[in-house]
Amino acid sequence: MEIGLIILAVMLASLLGWLLKQSFNTEPWIAAPVDEASYQAPFNARPKLVALILFLAVVTSFFALIFSAYSLRMDFGDWVPLTEPQLLWTNTAVLMLASIAFQWTRNGASTGVTSRLKPGLLLTGVLTAGFLVGQFSAWQQLQGSGHYMTSNPSIAFFYMLTGIHALHILGGMYVWARATLKVFGGDAEVEQSITLCTIYWHFLLLVWLVMFGLMLST
């Protein structure tokens, strides 16, 4: 369990370092003069980026607490390890592809290759929706084999962990939908939205990999 918490801590530290670098990467000796009238955020930080950093910190702490509770509950005598559905391996691959697709889209937005935006966002949405459908199918497989939430604590934790992760993805899909509508509506100011969504998708992929690894090892 300690390994999982360490991985989460390293994951958050890496994300914070990268995000802060994006905010403070302007060299003072080559920076353009600052318009003090429009200088609103401290250290010239972008408010949405800072908000995402804080949100990811809270979410990381939240998942760390759940993983800790998972580890503690395993010590009770009524814990029976669950054999995870093989479908989760396919779901993991689909979520990885969704993250890669979003990164490809983000690279297009940052380099001005706008032809990537529409297909990239649509592909990301389809893959992410496929992951959610796959998770629901995994739950149905468990229920079909008689593994219900009240059957055993390990099964209850499986439903809770995967359900909470799916809810966070659904929240991200809302932001993805807004960015996609902007792109199809001809709005050119979407680079920041796509960048923030990409970071969030990478984060949820890392959380899922830690979660899946934890469930497989226990």
Say if residues 169 and 132 touch (Cβ distance below 8 Å): yes
What angle separates helix 2-23 from helix 47-73, to the nearest 10 degrees?
180
The ranges assigned to domains in the chain are 2-217
Cα angle: 181, vertex 183, 186; to 5 degrees: 105
Q: Quick check: 47 and 195 in contact, CB under 8 A?
A: no
How do residues 85-135 score in pLDDT, each as one tens digit?
999 999 999 999 999 999 999 999 989 898 999 999 999 999 999 999 999
The SS3 call for residue 35 is coil
pLDDT at 72: 87
pLDDT at 20 over 70: no
Provide the percentage of residues in the chain whose pLDDT is more than 70: 79
**With the CA atoms of 191, 180, 205 and 67 taken in that order, what torsion angle do they form, in degrees rounded to the nearest 10?**
110
CATH number of this structure's domain 2-217, picked from the four choices 3.90.920.20, 1.20.120.80, 1.20.1540.10, 3.30.1600.10: 1.20.120.80
pTM for the model stands at: 0.80
Whether residue 101 contacts residue 120, with contact meaning beta carbons closer than 8 Å, is answered with yes
pLDDT band at 139 (very low <50, low <70, confident <90, very high): very high
Q: Is the pLDDT of residue 171 over 80?
A: yes
